[in-house]
Structure 1
């Protein structure tokens, strides 16, 4: 009898095992595993076997290749496949016959083995397929094995991989995996953050896995994953921006229940180990925790991303107890998420695909956050079980760089096609319309559709036959064309700007935005520094920015606006050249860069300068201009800390005969006029609201939006106004100002900010009124300092000076440089900053992180309501 019982138990265990394996097993139709230089089959710890080099030789086509192996055992190698490598001196190709079309994993393994053939640490090469650029000018310069994983929808009977060494270099590969992926791994649709809604067409792209995280759990290797994937752990605090705000939680993997009625959610999406662990909100020691747990990922901000988020409620005791919000790059991605309500059970997996547009990227990379929602009955917690970040191929099917396999550049141009430029240089002595006709005729037939630089620059000059006055001599690569009548300034040749920026060296980048990069350049035989903004044709929005910016700058001249020096229109490039602002943007001197703090007087003078620039925009032309992206990173500082407003890519002409412009909402987090956001009606008062936030940044030295803070502090405007209404603004002032800030000056400044932040535009002051109040605040501070009472910040008994003369309401000359349009009492900043403690000159070191654009386009959720 006991024997019979044991048999029954054994049979039950076998049945359970079969059921589990049936759920999680996957047999790929195509399964090519190749050790590219081995002499025998390599067996991996996960049970997979990689074929030898001789067995895989039939897939390889190469004219000059060498295989190398390590003579001595290499310690700490995770796999024997890294002990061998195949080196290519010339272009080589692997071709694999496919059994079934669909998504395939392509995993490329690299390890620079020491050998006598070639120093692989210096090998630079590209890896392409017939359709996609996978790696461009790639180099493995470290001593650890490197895996590059791609997910490609292969639809042809054969799949080819090309290894292309750069000149005088080599390419190499240690091992290749080409394996079928499950049909339900990637679906065609996801949720888009910008514009908000569904995103369709995902199956038309290729993907590269950049990050795959098992939140709160251990490292998962290919031995433990259903599809031989690797999941990194964040339990050591890696990826978390503040590990003290999170804690790990886990259950037994046997507790995880995959839904039988939803076959799309299975262990093939993620193994049970991922869903059996999570990071949840840490214990803050308060009754109602209201902070966010944040993860940060390094990414290439020029690309779009697919972010797959994995959830499984393993912390609740009952259904509908866990409600939380999910944010990606500060935008609401999933509001009031209740996983148990979606799955109908606890400990049941669920995932969400989020498509993140490149226009939402910032210098900070990509962030994912979870925080409690305000749902009634929630337990004030939030969780994350797993995060995957996949790069999406761009418009020319590249996953690395801006060129496609056929040389197409994102936006339309073709690399290497310089015949047009050479032809134009031969006829450099020709000027005026003749040159324009030559260049027009050399355009490709579809150039207008590509929206290149010329497609909007040329019509501006269509009626100007004196467009260029050549000063070029034959054989010279430098040129000095001018179009002063249009305000565009100097024409630079592409060669001249390449020389000025060291061929657009990445080390010379001083700013990054949706348009592309800004480089530090040196022109005029090294005598003049300039900022060179080079357009990125991949960005449709960036091209529109360029068009708007050059149209605006052609009619603007003011000493508190960044000046346009010239432009380049050659080889389908779009490049603008500005005056260089060595002290970078205002924000860097307030927080985030550890620069010497600005005095209160310096901050007032900078705000006054910016206000003068904005006042000129609103009143200094016949029609008026709305900036639409006022923020501290768009206020730049020259060598004497004079403030100049920059970045007019989102600007709009003010309405003629009506109170607003009806337009899509664009701007930056924390600065957007709420009335504009609600009604999509843009007015000059929208700039006033944004400037009110700038004033608060100057006063408090913190970001306009900081999702890592408690909920009531996330939005600077809301938080500061709460303190203002309590009459306690002094409690949130930058501590660096302690002992030097006059209470009356601060009060007047805070009142100006409060008026700017009125809910309705009709209740806000004009920029002229704001300027008047700021100048009055500066006079109060000056009087206080001169009487030697700066050591007592509470003292406000100094004689109050008469307020400044109100500024004029309108300045009607749109083309003349107007240095006094903002006020009849202009103040010149001193050439050196004054240390208020010893009255001696002190130089504030410049920063090299000038942000000449960096606009973040978004339909902003009201973060203050979190």
Structure 2
């Protein structure tokens, strides 16, 4: 094993933003550059010109005209923007008209200049937009450094910045930038860490830039960056400088792939620098390089990783893993398969789940984006109205640090630590054999006794199978289920045969756990075979949970687990095959020119599907020996068989519900847009959390549109909120699926919407149980069937009378619990 084989290389990882055509220029439709308190224009070294807010007084509304300026400040290499400032003893507003709705940079510059009457170093103030808190009780107390804040927010028609001094204090600002950015700037989805279904709806968040680092190189100035960003050198953040050797190539040699990274994502000099693992004084060949940055608690973080192989001599020489806080983010990545060339830019996006955070720092080499929390804030837990939006004041500091973990827009999200460990290594000749399930169980997982064990007290860890010894052909679960008779154990070779060796043509779905294949067993019986992602540590928990839950559940409206396989380090689950797939596909219809179009579901069919799903959930909550909370109710987890009978699926996140407590205290997990806000705030899971998610499903079934659509105007982004607002105004019909809007009886619609609205009550105690929801849906179906049986007259008045009769006078069905 020569030195060259184990030489570790770390290619560039940088976070940037945003993608446009290679070599294309971007001209922002809105470009407001304001030097506050200045009497004349100010030109910066990067060529940009800032106007005086005296020359642009229409932007500023304030009762005072207080300015200050100096000739120099004791800060080296500072911009002339910091030589003047505008001071506000009371509330003040900068307003900017937006010519094109979309995301905009908000860049704020602060430096506490001297003034004869006001001490800017003692100032305490907040800065907000109409919807987002940018700074809360902010102070710039250090006269030895400037403060620069950078945000990305959505704006339409007008963007206002409100400066609100703390009582008895003042506010100030040196310069403001409001600049539109490309529509593609922020993606709508990113991979979740720890691995779970991809995070959706990212484009609906406000973001704050926390760090932007140029790994292995010097600072890249805003003059070079086409979006006027500054990239800091990574040297102050490198946690292992003695093991790092920087590599730099000619920026002109960097290429950008068609449809991928571009110069607007990161300029050439950023991709042209990298860090190579040096010959450090260590006996461990697999040591990691890492970069540490500080972060705020209370927020999830968007992380963009940038890669460019500027060290290899030929393709397919490097394979590497990326870890974030000991959770694998990328496994076995070979850049050659992504770019088909050396020196070619590539990037990947992630959202770090707060549940993976532990110590208030992130070890990464990326630009980190902070998401607004439940208060609509990027700084603290106070909303734009100044009211506290966090956990109750009576909570202990420990509880405050862990409350409300999650992603959902408009709800409280708490953050902490991110660890990104990136390992590069030469691809060994037998890499395919080594790329097994256990290959990611590295020494850094040694704390998990169920996966690793020490031998003789040494630091060398012995790799083990998921539940049993590496020597055993299968894990301990197989013998457990054989003894209990709770499921069929499938040899791996049998499932290989069933799926034609897991042929990609057999894939019928992809989720956070892994791919789902259609296969045939026992001479022709079709089954769905879900093969776990070998790179997901989180998948182990879901694998165990799915087996434990489904092995004790049997119901007409729950997908049945037939068996499993954990041989050869695999995690595979075998289910009954649901030929009509997920409900979501039937709501949104077929793609254009689809050779096998999906027929539209009638209103009666949709009601029957909702009733079947409600029966399945009701059984989970009350029919099992111990109550079970699904925790991920959504239209992709409601499957339809050949007769359109609905069955609830995917129990990887499910929890037993100890009824004596009434809730389970647990980290928040679920799907964006369906998540119960009370569960999100309190981290207390109840069966009413499923009820809330099901209420969202009901409106999705009625309207046939995504529950979160960030491309729509802000008030329409969240389907549940928008539908309830329209219902209160008597305008719900405007967003009902046009394919069925004229077929729904008045009474049926009223009862259905009533059920959905009750499910979405803010507090779980005000929501009905699934039994009550089921009763209301069955009533809505009977109202629809009764209406269909009426011989509707061409006389409109007669028709209205008959519809009203069916809605009001029909006898209610018996309650399912009576």
TM-score (norm 2): 0.51
Distance 1:366 1:679, change over 3 A: closer
The residue number in structure 2 matching 1:520 is: 518
CA displacement, residues 112-166 of structure 1 (integer Å, 9 cap, x when unaligned): xxxxxxxxxxxxxxxxx8567xxxxxxxxxxxxxxxxxxx53xxxxxxxxxxxxx
Shift of 1:349: 11
1:198-237 Cα offsets, whole Å, 9 max, x none, are: xxxxxxxx4578997566xx854xxxxxxxxxxx6577xx
| 1:553 counterpart (528, 550, 553) | 550
Q: 1:61-140 to 2 correspondence within 5 Å? A: 130=6
- CA distance in 2 between counterparts of 1:254 and 1:505 reads 54
SS in 2 for 1:520: strand
- Identify the residue that residue 99 of structure 2 maps to in structure 1: 283
Q: Distance in 2 between matches of 1:233 and 1:457?
A: 57
Residues 581 and 640 in structure 2, CA contact (< 8 A), matched pair in contact too: yes
Q: Quote the Cα distance in structure 2 between the aligned partners of 1:662 and 1:456.
A: 37
Any idea what SS the aligned residue of 2:707 has? coil
Q: Is the aligned partner of 1:805 residue 2:805? A: no
**Is the 2:580–2:644 Cα contact (8 Å) retained in structure 1?**
yes
Secondary structure of residue in 2 paired with 1:775: helix
SS of structure 1 residue aligned to 2:568:
coil
CA distance in 2, matches of 1:403, 1:336: 36
Whole-angstrom distance in 2 between the partners of 1:325 and 1:661: 32
> Which residue, out of 670, 686, 690, partners 1:687?
690
Structure 1 equivalent of residue 569 of structure 2: 572
- Matched with 2:803 is 796
In 2: Cα distance, 1:732 partner to 1:775 partner: 23
Equivalent in 128, 153, 175 of residue 345 of structure 1: 175
CA deviation vs aligned residue, 1:458-504 (integer Å, no higher than 9, x gap): 5556667x64xxxxxxxxxxxxxxxxx4321x322212212222222
Counterparts of residues 324-363 of structure 1 (less than 5 Å): 344-346=174-176, 357-358=192-193
Query: What's the CA shift string for 1:535-565, capped at 9, x where partnerless?
Result: 1131122221111111001100111111112
SS in 2 for 1:398: strand
Deviations 1:388-417 (A, max 9, x none): 5535743586323999835343751499xx
- Tell me the equivalent position of 1:664: 667
- Secondary structure of the residue aligned to 1:511 is strand
CA contact 1:758–1:764 (8 Å) conserved in 2: yes
Larger radius of gyration: 1
**Distance in 1 of aligned mates of 2:178 and 2:714:** 29
- Quick one: distance in 2 between partners of 1:632 and 1:384? 42
- Kindly provide the CA deviation profile for residues 290-346 of structure 1, in whole angstroms up to 9, marking residues without a partner as x: x6549xxxxxxxxxxxxxxx87689xxxx989888799xxxxx96879899999535
Q: Determine the C-alpha separation between the residues in 2 that align with 1:763 and 1:689.
A: 11
Contact 1:563 1:578 in 2 (8 A): yes
**Which position in structure 2 is the counterpart of 1:409?**
435
Q: CA separation of 1:518/1:536 partners in 2, compared to 1, >3 Å: closer, same or farther?
A: same
CA distance, structure 2, for counterparts of residue 743 and residue 353 of structure 1: 42
Q: Give structure 2 stretches of 5+ with no counterpart.
A: 34-42, 51-72, 80-95, 110-125, 135-149, 155-160, 164-170, 209-226, 230-263, 267-303, 308-320, 323-327, 338-422, 442-460, 592-597
Q: Does 1:596 align with 2:599?
A: yes
2:493 is the alignment partner of 1:487: no
Q: What is the aligned partner in structure 2 of residue 734 from structure 1?
A: 737
Residues 455, 325 of structure 1: CA spacing in aligned structure 2 closer, same or farther, 3 A cutoff?
Answer: farther
* Equivalence for 1:754: 757
Rounded to whole Å, the distance in 2 between the matches of 1:131 and 1:505 is 35
Residue number in structure 2 paired with 1:399:
333
Distance apart, 1:358 and its partner CA: 4.7
Paired residue secondary structure (1:530): strand
2:714 and 2:688 mapped to 1: Cα distance? 27
Return closer, same or farther for 1:260/1:558 CA change in 2, 3 Å cut-off: farther
After superposition, what is the alpha-carbon deviation per residue over 1:166-213, rounded to whole angstroms, capped at 9, x for unaligned? xxxxxxxxxxxxxxxxxxxxxxxxxxxxxxxxxxxxxxxx45789975
Does the 8 A contact of 2:688 with 2:767 survive in 1? Answer: yes
Within a 5 Å distance, the mapping from 1:824-863 to structure 2 comes to none
Residue of structure 2 in register with 1:537 after alignment: 534
- The count of residues paired between Structure 1 and Structure 2 equals 489
List aligned pairs for 1:206-217, cutoff 5 A.
206-207=11-12, 213=18
Mapping 1:620-639, distance limit 5 Å: 620-639=623-642
The alpha-carbon deviation at position 742 of structure 1 amounts to 0.2
Deviation, 1:729, is: 2.6
8 Å CA contact 1:516–1:533 kept in 2: the answer is yes
How high is the TM-score relative to the length of structure 1? Answer: 0.49
Residues 1:761 and 1:214: Cα distance change in structure 2 (over 3 Å): closer
C-alpha distance in 2, partners of 1:391/1:503?
A: 34
Deviation at 1:625, TM superposition (A): 0.5
SS in 2 for 1:672: coil
CA distance in structure 2 between the aligned counterparts of 1:347 and 1:581, rounded to whole angstroms: 54
8 A Cα contact 2:197 2:513, kept in partner: no
- Kindly state the Cα deviation for residue 731 of structure 1 after the two structures are TM-superposed: 2.9
Q: 1:532 to 1:292 in 2, by over 3 A?
A: farther
3-state SS of the aligned residue for 1:537? coil
- 8 Å CA contact 2:465–2:569 kept in 1: the answer is no
Distance 1:361 1:664, change over 3 A: closer
In the alignment, is the contact (CA less than 8 A) between 2:700 and 2:707 conserved in 1? yes
